[in-house]
Amino acid sequence: MKVFNLKNSNGVSVNITNAGAAVQSIIVPDKNGKFEDIVLGFDSPEEYLTKNDPYLGVIVGRYGNRIDGGKFSLNGKSYQVTINDGTNHLHGGVNGFSKKVWNAEKIKSNLGEAVKLEYQSKDMEEGYPGNLTLSVVYTLTNANELRIDYEATTDQETILNPTHHSYFNLTGNPQNTILKHVVMINADKYTPANKKLIPTGELASIENTPLDFRKPMEVGLRIEDENEQLKFAGGYDFNWILNDFTGSVRKVASAFDRTSGRFMEVFTDQPGIQFYSGNFLNGTVKGKGGIAYNRRCGLCFEAQHFPNSPNEKSFPTTVLKPGEVYRQTTIYKFSVLS
């Protein structure tokens, strides 16, 4: 297994491993110029394949997020994919993209240093139809952006919804929680979930709920509110329906840590984003430096199509057909605010 280092002219550094196509580290300065790692992860590539139940830093798929009962139909034919989350299919199954060793190489890019990773998923792997080829290019630009470009093709009709699953902690110390991070999400609606965290099919307003992040709000301010959705998830773990979806890249979210001054902006061309507050971290997974990753010590912004879309006709489709090319671009941009 390999680790690739990307650097830019500002001293920002990113390590990418071909184990799970994972982002192993993102080292950026705080407002005083101190460089620290702001993502959870492991010291060795092997650990991403053997102890990464929380999906730290990886690319997940074929289908990121949940599919109810692991069942869906295409062209009148029913498919059963692996169950690995109660009665749900989650993040590609038991041995999804996050558990694979990808082909990888550094490539030339006009945007900055880049690494291209590729994985070929065989027909009926984890129960998914079609031989699928997915490439992911990570690029570190001189604007302190980590850009992720996906491209995929298939030889049979299938479903596809890959996403990136880094856990960010802008304090630079995962022994701190992310409850004081100030988050903004440009979304007026979300997809409510049932107790299994499967969307009900409703597109609901976030108005007058703890899920309203249209104005920047501390994660911890309302996370313990008496709210059925928060109770189901143990905090935030929902799909926000992003505003201004046209298929073009636009700013959709941000996070800010006042103490360090670190500011992260999220841009994507996707219709949804899963904001996850690390509720299921419980200290059993030990990461870099042997630090136990405790509850809510990292947050995720997973750009995506909606969970369980194959079973909800009103949701944007995740079907990929032969002859089509799946593309996605998601960007995490880092800066400091005083």
- The span from the CA of 269 to the CA of 130, in Å, is 25
The predicted structure's pLDDT at residue 147: 98
Burial of residue 76 (CB within 10 Å: 0-12, 13-18, 19+) is exposed
Do 238 and 305 touch, CB atoms closer than 8 A? no
The predicted structure's pLDDT at residue 52: 93
| CA dihedral over 274, 279, 281, 287, signed as positive or negative | positive
CATH architecture of 3-336: Distorted Sandwich (2.70)
- The span from the CA of 314 to the CA of 23, in Å, is 33
Share of the chain above pLDDT 90, in %: 100
Residue 107 pLDDT > 90: yes
- What DSSP line would sit under 242-262, residue for residue? ESS-SSS-EEEEEEE-TTT-E
- What DSSP line would sit under 27-43, residue for residue? EEE-TTS-EEE-B---S
> pLDDT tens digits for 47-98?
999 999 999 999 999 999 999 999 999 999 999 999 999 999 999 999 999 9
Set 89, 165, 181, 305: catalytic member: 165
- The span from the CA of 22 to the CA of 45, in Å, is 9
The predicted structure's pLDDT at residue 68: 98
Structure tokens at 237: 């773990």
Is 125 noted as a catalytic residue in this protein? no
Strands 59-60 and 326-336, by their bridges, are unpaired
Number of H helices, E strands in the chain: 2, 26
- The span from the CA of 179 to the CA of 263, in Å, is 15
Residue 245: CB atoms within 10 Å: 16
Query: Which of 196, 194, 222 lies closest to 209 in space, CA to CA?
Result: 222
Phi-psi region of 269 (alpha: psi -120 to 50; beta: other; left: phi over 0): alpha
The predicted structure's pLDDT at residue 338: 79
> pLDDT tens digits for 225-273?
999 999 999 999 999 999 999 999 999 999 999 999 999 999 999 999 9
Kindly state the average pLDDT of the residues 40-52: 97
**Domain ranges within the chain, ordered by starting residue:** 3-336
> pLDDT tens digits for 214-235?
999 999 999 999 999 999 999 9
Burial of residue 25 (CB within 10 Å: 0-12, 13-18, 19+) is buried
- The span from the CA of 16 to the CA of 5, in Å, is 6
Set 125, 302, 305, 312: catalytic member: 302
> pLDDT tens digits for 171-224?
999 999 999 999 999 999 999 999 999 999 999 999 999 999 999 999 999 999
pTM of the predicted model over 0.95:
yes
Instruction: Give me the chain's average pLDDT, please.
Output: 98
Is 302 noted as a catalytic residue in this protein? yes
Residue 146 pLDDT > 90: yes
